[in-house]
Amino acid sequence: VTPEDIALVIASIEQLRGDADAVVARFYERLFELAPDARDLFTIDMAIQRGKFFAELDTIAHAIPNLDTFVDRASRLGTEHARRGVTNRHYRAFGQALFDVLSDTYGDDFTPELADAWRRAYSLVSDSMQRGAAVR
């Protein structure tokens, strides 16, 4: 993940902040299409879950530049997710859903650079979360 990637992703999150509720709602809609069993992973009210999701995305993306903090946070997050039953298959579905919703939201503005940046960032985040869950 290059510094440019990080900047692009953080800028993108700022752009989405105003419309966060709708974007996150569409994200979960898409996720449950891709992985219907993912519904069972969320036991709390989906409205609260949606709020938590954007906050976490915001925090972790901003954490990338400071690797130690980032790895620490991702590990804890990964462990929590594993406890809820999230597996590798779900990570792939999450990534796909996120990508689809971003592509949908941006339309023609979803440039190859922005797409690459998001994809690499997600790879770093999801990989670090899974390692956090794995290394017990």
Partner 1 sequence: MSTAAVVDRWPLVGRWDALEACEAAIADCDGIVLFGAAGVGKTRLADELGARLETGDRTRLRAVASKTAAATPLGALAHVLPPGPDAYARAAETFAATRPVLAVDDLHLLDATSLTLLAQLVANGLVFLIGTVRTGEPAPDGVDALVRSDRVVRIDLDALTRDDVDTLLHLALGGPLDGATAASLWNASQGNVLFLRELVLGARAADTLTDVDGVWTVTGPLASTGRLNELLAARIGAVDPDGVSLLELLACCGAVGLDDAETTVRLDTLAALEQAGLIALTVDERRRSLALAHPLYGDILRAAMGTLRARALLTDQVARVAARGARRREDPLLIASWQLEAGAPADPALVLRGARLARGAHDFAQVERLARAALRVDETSAEAAQLAGEACYELGRFDDAEAVLGPADDVCERNGDGSTVACDLAIVRAQNLTWGLSRLSDGLAVRGRARARGTSEDDRGVLLAGEASELMFIGPNETLALLASEPPAAESRASVARAIAEAPALAFVGRTTDALVIAHAGFEAHGALGDVVAMAHPGTHVIAQVVALAEAGSLAEAGALAQFVYDVGVADNVALPRMWGSLNLGRVALLMGRPVSARRWLMECAALARPFRPIRRLALSGLAIALSMTGDAAAAQEAATELAPTPGEETFVAPELWLGAGWAALANHEPERARDLFEQGADEAAGRGYRTCETWLLHEIARVGAPERVAARLLAAAEHCDGVLVAARAAHADALVRHDADALAAVAEEFATSGADLVAAEAAGAASDAYRRDGDSRRATALQERSAALLALCEGAETPSLVTAETVVPLTRREREIAVLAAEGLASKAIGERLFLSARTVDNHLQRVYTKLGVTRRADLADALKRRGEQ
At 119, list the tokens: 């994809």
Using the rule CB under 8 A, give the single segment among 10-18, 35-43, 104-112, 124-132 that binds partner 1: 124-132
CB of 20 to partner 1, least distance (A): 26
Compute φ and ψ for 58, nearest 5 degrees. Answer: -60, -50
Q: Pick between residue 47 and residue 67 the one whose CB is nearest to partner 1.
A: 67
How far, in Å, CA of 121 to CA of 17, rounded? Answer: 18
Q: Coil, strand or helix: which one is 65? A: coil
Binding mask 61-100 for partner 1 (x = CB under 8 A): ---xx-x---x---------------xxx-x---------
Q: Are 74 and 128 a contacting pair, CB within 8 Å? A: yes
Using the rule CB under 8 A, give the single segment among 11-19, 27-35, 59-67, 104-112 that binds partner 1: 59-67
55 near partner 1, rule: CB under 8 A: no
The conformation of residue 41, written as its DSSP 8-state character, comes to: G
